[in-house]
Structure 1
Amino acid sequence: MKYKILHIVGGMGKGGTETMLMNIYRKIDRNKIQFDFLYTTNEETYYDKEIKKLGGNILRIDSLNIFKINKMGNQIYDCINRNGPYQAIHAHTLFNCGIAMRAAKKSGVDIRISHSHTTADNEVGLARKIYISLMRKLILDNSTNLLACSDLAGEYLFGAENIKSDKYTMFPNLISYENIIDVNYGDVEKFKIENKLQEDNLIIGHIGTFKESKNQKFLLKIVKVLKERNKDVKLLLVGDGSMRDELENMCKDLDISDRVIFTGTRDDIDVILNSMDVFVFPSTFEGLGLVLLEAQTAGLPCVVSEAIQPEADLQLGLFSKLNLSDGAEFWANKIIEIYGKKETDKQKILDAFDKQGYSTEKCISKLLSIYKID
């Protein structure tokens, strides 16, 4: 018997949640377990080809809509019944999880999981508040399990009182850290040569979708400060998104275009991280910040905003948490202070993963236990 799990997502682009799901899918016994993915987009996304290669199916419904709850629920219900039976339905769509959970319960699926990956979103207004109230009730009434990447993310989706319930589990995000630890330093040198990165450069880095919540504009202001102080700074901006043109124009306005390298979306994150000196993550809100675990795997000192959850700190002495209100000058000072303070003891890093519960074996074992798969 092959167990089938249906993950409900917006799409499988190269974000933190999606990368975590792929890290799990690559490592589970796929002769025993199959992951299917239900999208709310018709667009092709980053991991589509790999999902199919690994034996998973991609299913699609219309985009989730606040005014079409019943229609969306019926589409999810039909997908479950056409493509199941499923051992579990695992939803990752924030408050829209409520629609999926009700449909899964109606379909008779025994294990119904709502999973929170963030502590906030950008939508506001009365209609949104009403929707949140309705969806939270659907989530709580119809989910058998409530998962979150941090307790604050759990509070945001489920309510503070509900992270004390037996249904709730803090589920550590899983990253594929082996390649980062055992990086090919020949590839690192090649990357540096290709991007004209010099030995005396202060190379700061950031990985994330180019959107308001990731706050790359603040990062560019920091680069401006460092340049004005005659620091030979280079910023690696890894990723892409709707704000790319705006960020490139801001670089021109700040006269730092020569200091910022837009790498685009990359597969060689292990190489790029090992090319950096300091990792900077000034998000205005964040569930956990999966990439921060990857940055610490590379031994990078990290400067992060107050929005970053404590669960992201591997307790290696690499975390510097600052307030965004401190301003770009203060952040620049901290970057200068921690420059050159990488952690080079690989065994110490691996031990930290195990101690914090982020090891591959522990994460997969915990998830399979939730799915009730021996």
Structure 2
Amino acid sequence: MKTRVLVYGLGGKIGGMEEYLLNLYRHVDQTQIAFDIIPHGGADFYAADEVNRMGGEIYPVFGEDHSFSRKRLNEVLKNERSRHQVIYFNVCALYRLDPFVMAKRYHYPMVVHSHNTMDPGRGIIANDIHRMNRLLVRNWSDKCFACSSAAGEWLFGEKYFHSKSKCSVINNAIDLDEHKFNCDSRVKVRREFGLSDSKKVFLSVGRLVDQKNQQFSIRIFSRILKKEPDSCLILVGEGPNEQILRKLSMELGIEDSVIFTGSRTDVNDIMCAADLLLLPSLYEGFGIVAIEAQASGLPILASSKIPDEAVVLQSLVKRMSLDSDVEKWSECAIKQIQPLHERTSHNSELSLAGYNANLLAKNMQIFFQGYNNEQ
């Protein structure tokens, strides 16, 4: 019997949470298990075609105007109950309770997976709602997963997450071979953007939103450029802050040295072309780009908000406080760059630390197939 897992909570556009699930799906035995996705936040899902090719289905519950339809979600959960063994919630917070109430109404076994920590921008009322909802959700859940300890503490409560056997950290594993450093990829991407072999390339990867703190990255780079004129900054991602970031680049007079790529599917190749990843996030549940960069041998300068679980190779990752000024960040960024000839594969270390997608997929497939016996 093929196991079908109904997935709720993924955004319509690419992000770390979405790529975690896609990486998992790509590496399971697709003849034995399928992940069917209810996108959250829009009518479309960026990887719908790939999901369909792998045997999964997409169930939209948002209209073209991006409005959420409780009625449509209720219909999907009711109609699909007989085909699905379990519902897998992938969420960043518990501001809405109704999807969980509906899943409970139709007697879905629930697995809940936390992918972020607290958003400081949310108000007191929203965070109080989250804390009240967690009391119900964690008790309704068969398993409480998280991408890091901090993410687990945020969603389920610190004491609860560390004391209950049903709670555990699930690593955001990646295809390690796909992210190995490749000289040909470095040359190809640099040619695409018209970058010389000698140019210092600083990189930022992530949605263009406040959380990722790209404004700080641009300010850091403006100081770097004064010390290293033959440099550029590549920002990979899309989001509501793009025009703000473009305007800031122009105000600082560095727009000719800042490249906005939009959303890309070849981030692994772009990492090969870069010399340093800037990751000054305001908060992070995990930060999967940090693992991808380490697999590529790419040095990282990150904020102290990046959790310990994302730092496998101490030689490649330096974390700094966001209280440090831009000048200090720029100095550290330049010092953190390593000679190109030292870039090498770190697959064995990352696999040993639990970031091998093949191993994760095998274990998660066995876990979800266990629900076949419970119907």
TM over 0.5: same fold? Answer: yes
Distance 1:345 1:124 in 2: 41
Tell me which residue corresponds to 2:15.
15
Tell me which residue corresponds to 2:303.
305
Whether the 8 Å contact between 1:4 and 1:36 is mirrored in structure 2 is yes
Deviations for 1:215-235, whole angstroms, at most 9, x for unmatched residues?
000011111111222432211
| Residues 174-183 or 145-154, more deviating | 174-183
Tell me which residue corresponds to 2:76.
79
Give the deviation of 1:149 after TM superposition: 0.4
Distance 1:182 1:230 in 2: 24
Distance 1:95 1:181 in 2: 36
Deviations for 1:34-73, whole angstroms, at most 9, x for unmatched residues?
110112344323111211222211112248xxxx9xx84x
Tell me which residue corresponds to 1:205.
203
| Residues 155-164 or 78-87, more deviating | 78-87
Distance 1:28 1:96 in 2: 31
Whether the 8 Å contact between 2:33 and 2:365 is mirrored in structure 1 is no
Tell me which residue corresponds to 1:259.
257
SS of equivalent to 2:4: strand
Give the deviation of 1:158 after TM superposition: 0.6
Tell me which residue corresponds to 1:37.
37
> Which residue identity is paired with 1:78?
E
Distance 2:145 2:174 in 1: 17
Matched, 1:282 2:280: yes
Give the deviation of 1:267 after TM superposition: 1.3
Whether the 8 Å contact between 1:77 and 1:107 is mirrored in structure 2 is no
Q: Cα 1:57–1:355, aligned 2, differ >3 Å: closer, same or farther?
A: same
Tell me which residue corresponds to 1:135.
133
Matched, 1:292 2:290: yes
90, 94, 109: which one pairs with 1:92? 90
Give the deviation of 1:276 after TM superposition: 0.5
> Which residue identity is paired with 1:44?
D
Equivalent residues in 2 for 1:128-167, closer than 5 Å: 128-164=126-162, 165-167=164-166
Distance 1:41 1:303 in 2: 31
SS of equivalent to 2:117: coil
Distance 1:55 1:166 in 2: 32
Give the deviation of 1:134 after TM superposition: 2.8
| Residues 187-196 or 246-255, more deviating | 187-196
Whether the 8 Å contact between 2:10 and 2:17 is mirrored in structure 1 is no
SS of equivalent to 1:58: coil
Give the deviation of 1:324 after TM superposition: 1.1
Deviations for 1:306-338, whole angstroms, at most 9, x for unmatched residues?
110000011251110001111111111111112
Give the deviation of 1:87 after TM superposition: 1.7
Whether the 8 Å contact between 1:91 and 1:100 is mirrored in structure 2 is no
Q: CA RMSD in A?
A: 2.1
Q: Cα 1:62–1:270, aligned 2, differ >3 Å: closer, same or farther?
A: closer
Unaligned runs of 5+ in 2: none
Unaligned runs of 5+ in 1: none
Whether the 8 Å contact between 2:145 and 2:167 is mirrored in structure 1 is yes
Tell me which residue corresponds to 1:350.
347
Distance 1:133 1:75 in 2: 27
Distance 2:335 2:128 in 1: 47
Tell me which residue corresponds to 2:337.
339
Tell me which residue corresponds to 2:214.
216
Deviations for 1:208-265, whole angstroms, at most 9, x for unmatched residues?
0000010000011111111222432211111111111110111000001111111111
Tell me which residue corresponds to 1:104.
103
Q: Cα 1:300–1:182, aligned 2, differ >3 Å: closer, same or farther?
A: closer
Tell me which residue corresponds to 1:324.
322
Distance 1:351 1:229 in 2: 36
SS of equivalent to 1:367: helix
Whether the 8 Å contact between 1:11 and 1:40 is mirrored in structure 2 is yes
228, 238, 241: which one pairs with 2:239? 241
Distance 2:368 2:193 in 1: 45
SS of equivalent to 1:108: coil
| Residues 271-280 or 361-370, more deviating | 361-370
Distance 1:188 1:287 in 2: 29
Distance 2:152 2:247 in 1: 37
Distance 1:42 1:354 in 2: 35
Tell me which residue corresponds to 1:365.
362
Whether the 8 Å contact between 1:77 and 1:106 is mirrored in structure 2 is no
Give the deviation of 1:75 after TM superposition: 5.0
Matched, 1:113 2:106: no
Give the deviation of 1:96 after TM superposition: 4.8
Give the deviation of 1:361 after TM superposition: 3.0
Q: Cα 1:302–1:354, aligned 2, differ >3 Å: closer, same or farther?
A: same
SS of equivalent to 1:371: helix
Tell me which residue corresponds to 2:180.
181
Whether the 8 Å contact between 1:206 and 1:238 is mirrored in structure 2 is yes
Whether the 8 Å contact between 1:286 and 1:307 is mirrored in structure 2 is yes
Distance 1:338 1:360 in 2: 28
Matched, 1:28 2:19: no
| Residues 257-266 or 119-128, more deviating | 119-128
Distance 1:254 1:304 in 2: 22
> Which residue identity is paired with 1:61?
V
Equivalenced residue count is: 363
Q: Which has the higher contact order (CA 8 A, sep 6+)?
A: 2
